[in-house]
Amino acid sequence: MYVPKGFRFSGVHCKIKRKRKDLGLIFSEVPCIAAGVFTQNVVKAAPVVYDLEILKKNPEGIRSVVVNSGIANACTGEQGLTNAKKMAEKAAKELGIPIESVLVSSTGVIGVQLPMDKVESGIEEAVRNLSEDPLPFAEAIMTTDTKPKLHSKKISLDGKEITVLGIAKGSGMIHPNMATMLAFLVTDASISENALKKLLKISVDDTYNMIDVDGDTSTNDMVIILANGLAGNVTIQEETDGFWKLYEAVHEVNQFLAEKIVEDGEGATKVIEVNVINAPDMESARLIARSIVSSNLVKTAIYGGDANWGRVLAAAGYSGAKFDPNRLDLFFESEAGSIKVAEDGQGLDFNEKEAKDILSEKKIRIVLDMKQGKESARAWGCDLTEKYVEINGRYRT
């Protein structure tokens, strides 16, 4: 795992949760340019509201992010906002930096106030335990995740080595326009504020905004990127060669993490990739891909190995996109092969056993050829199983 220059991390158990780590900290030796993308849910958790205000005022001076798991600090009123600010104040005090340079994040059960005595003692311990190892932080932000999610990438620009590191959490309450997922990216690249904001938004639109586990969009999701400039490269501006080179690195990290989130979906046994090709326009391709990957009927069919192609076309039809349904070809694919199940909007006489064998693999690809243009889009999701109900039926207990 590559770690960008000047960043340190920690993760501790502050006893919000019974056993596992539940408070994490990221710290940069110098101020960072920062950008964020946040939940589309009208009901926004206190940390989201707090961070939006901080990033309006101080996107060029962020030094730290402090995150707790186990309690979401959502639907907690004025006390929740006070507690979000207290998290930032405590981290700032312990690190010796301005409060305006600290972002906060929370994930977990909605409607419960944070135990601030535990959070504040956890922040003290986290500051004492800062190191170059990002794994403890990745472990500390997990809720129902079964494994930590990290990925890094190195590139060379202007003769300087630039590193991008991403750390994410997410397993359930995952739906396009982000979900109960958190992602924190750090890089030592030097980049302008506008370029960083644009780079992040473009990547998020094609990664975290194209995944689905269960159709629920959370109150807490956020993707934050910090760039501290310690790589020493010429400052990257919008639409330059350097911009696109850094974008490719950030996008690789985001796509890896997005796929790991759906792979770790609550109760999931299979990953589903929906590939919409030859669409009339990009917006239609995205709408249709997201609609198919979000369909509970499609998810359950994939879980059962049932080549119920009609559910796929139905999901495309209610996506909101305008298209000719009489030109659609549909394929199911996996490592076991590829089978065409519909042509020109109508079912084909296909081999059911062959189809079931294809759908029995761990990664399934649904390819919808619209034959109505040149645009394409991909979305990722997972199957929906009895285990998902079990996990979420006892989430608070």
Catalytic residue numbers read 180
> Rounded to the nearest 5°, which phi and psi values hold at 220?
-120, -10
* Whether the Cβ atoms of residue 220 and residue 263 lie closer than 8 Å to each other: no
What whole-number distance in Å separates Cα of residue 211 and Cα of residue 21? 26
* Whether the Cβ atoms of residue 154 and residue 197 lie closer than 8 Å to each other: no
What is each CA distance from 329 to 198, 273, 323, 324, in whole angstroms? 35, 16, 13, 12
* Whether the Cβ atoms of residue 183 and residue 166 lie closer than 8 Å to each other: yes
Q: Is residue 364 classed as helix, strand or coil in its secondary structure?
A: strand
Residue of 6, 21, 26 whose CA lies nearest to 127: 26
Q: Which residues contact 337 (CB under 8 A, 6 or more apart)?
A: 354, 357, 358
What whole-number distance in Å separates Cα of residue 292 and Cα of residue 211? 11
Q: How many CB atoms lie within 10 A of CB 362?
A: 11
Residue of 71, 82, 78, 81 whose CA lies nearest to 46: 81
Residue 327: both structure tokens together: 């030109």
DSSP-assigned letter for residue 236: B
Residue of 106, 119, 121 whose CA lies nearest to 76: 106
* Whether the Cβ atoms of residue 71 and residue 106 lie closer than 8 Å to each other: yes
Q: Please provide the DSSP assignment of 59-105 as one string.
A: TT-EEEEEEEEEE---S-HHHHHHHHHHHHHHHHHHHTS-GGGEEEE
Q: How many CB atoms lie within 10 A of CB 397?
A: 4
